[in-house]
Amino acid sequence: MIKEQRFDEIHSKPCPNCYICGTQGEILYKGLKDRLFGAPGEWNFKKCPNPGCGLMWLDPMPVKETISLAYTNYYTHLDTGRFSKTWPRSAYNVVKEGYLAHKYSYSKASVPTWKKLLGMLIYLHPGRRADVDFNVMYLPASPQGHLLEVGCGSGQMLKRMQEMGWHVEGVDFDASAVENARKKGLHVCFGTLEAQNYADNHFDVIFMSHLIEHVHDPLKLLREGHRILKPGGQAVLVTPNNESLGHKLFKEAWRGLEAPRHLYLFSLKALKELSQEAGFKVKNLKITVRNARGIYLASRSIQKAAKAGKGEVSVPNPNFQAEIWQFVEWIMCRLDSRLGEELVLFTYK
């Protein structure tokens, strides 16, 4: 039995081998600090040298009992509210409505042809298109389809999907996030997915966004998701891509590393292998440039702060330079599809 050691204030234990294939890992980065939210400790990332895998992970690995210390100042589950109704936002919403009606068949009423044609404007901006696709979980309309979001946070996406006609439920282990979600009238449970004891073959769709990289036992999570999914049902997984152009450019300053909260970072091959081991059949895998703007700016800030010897930085807002970067990444993805910031895996049972 491996003895747990104290790693500053967060306990950890050695994790020398790849979680997926068992290959001994090679050190990729050493002595990383949390320059986003100030969690204690210095952390190492290893990478699996197996060309058929490519998983990255923390070694030593934070243990479950103290990992909560890494989330003390975490922002993801805050309730950010809705955008104000300015005329540019209203115009954008018209374009978005036309796009969603055309591509996904979402509409509160009959959408005229002119609005669907106007929705094609989104194709001119790959980043905006990726945002809109993500905001409906890449799912076509399915009135009263039964949807579960695991790691739903304050329920903003769930509320949107409910308004789109889905029957929704959520799970999250952040108590304040669950409280915010319930204030929206959503049915959201507190705790892990495994602790909910859902019936077999219960949901039409399971959605997990930026969750699997935070989980100590992702295979167990996926197997539970497979159990509660109906035959023919779909699971959609979204997670950072460890082969992205941003990672290649910024290396140890890449925003996607996020030690010590990101325990694992997946390559395309690693994510497919893990989902298949859990029993899923792979339907499709997209690699998108969604959030490349924010990743670029945050990574630049981390890089500059490290050079200046500073300990922490705040996450900045996107600007014109980051917009250009997103287009560059999109163009590079046309040459090598593995270079986008996010992996989006579509699987079914």
Q: What is the CATH number of the domain that holds 232?
A: 3.40.50.150
Whether residue 230 is contained in a domain is answered as yes
Residues 208 and 282 in one domain: yes
Residues 164 and 263 in one domain: yes
Whether residue 292 is contained in a domain is answered as yes
Kindly tell me if the per-residue pLDDT of 81 is higher than 80: no
Residues 13 and 108 in one domain: no
For 98, the domain range is 84-124
Local confidence band at 239 (pLDDT 50, 70, 90 cut-offs)? very high
Q: What is the pLDDT of residue 31?
A: 96
Whether residue 79 is contained in a domain is answered as no
Please compute the mean of the pLDDT values over residues 216-234 and round it to a whole number: 98
Kindly tell me if the per-residue pLDDT of 82 is higher than 90: no
Residues 175 and 265 in one domain: yes
Whether residue 78 is contained in a domain is answered as no
Whether residue 243 is contained in a domain is answered as yes
Burial of 220 (0-12, 13-18, 19+ CB in 10 A): middle
What's the predicted TM-score (pTM) here? 0.90
Kindly tell me if the per-residue pLDDT of 80 is higher than 90: no
Residues 283 and 316 in one domain: yes
Please compute the mean of the pLDDT values over residues 110-126 and round it to a whole number: 84
CA distances from 230 to 157, 162, 206, 242 (A): 22, 20, 10, 31
If one counts the domains in the chain, the total is 3
Residues 20 and 164 in one domain: no
Residues 45 and 93 in one domain: no
Most confident of 71-75, 209-213, 316-320: 209-213
- In whole angstroms, what is the distance from residue 344 CA to residue 237 CA? 6
Residues 90 and 167 in one domain: no
Residues 245 and 200 in one domain: yes
Residues 112 and 152 in one domain: no
Kindly tell me if the per-residue pLDDT of 246 is higher than 50: yes
Burial of 80 (0-12, 13-18, 19+ CB in 10 A): exposed
Residues 252 and 341 in one domain: yes
Kindly tell me if the per-residue pLDDT of 126 is higher than 70: yes
Residues 16 and 115 in one domain: no
What tens digit of pLDDT does each residue of 286-323 get? Answer: 999 999 999 999 999 998 877 665 555 554 555 788 99
Tokens 């030690």 label which residue? 259
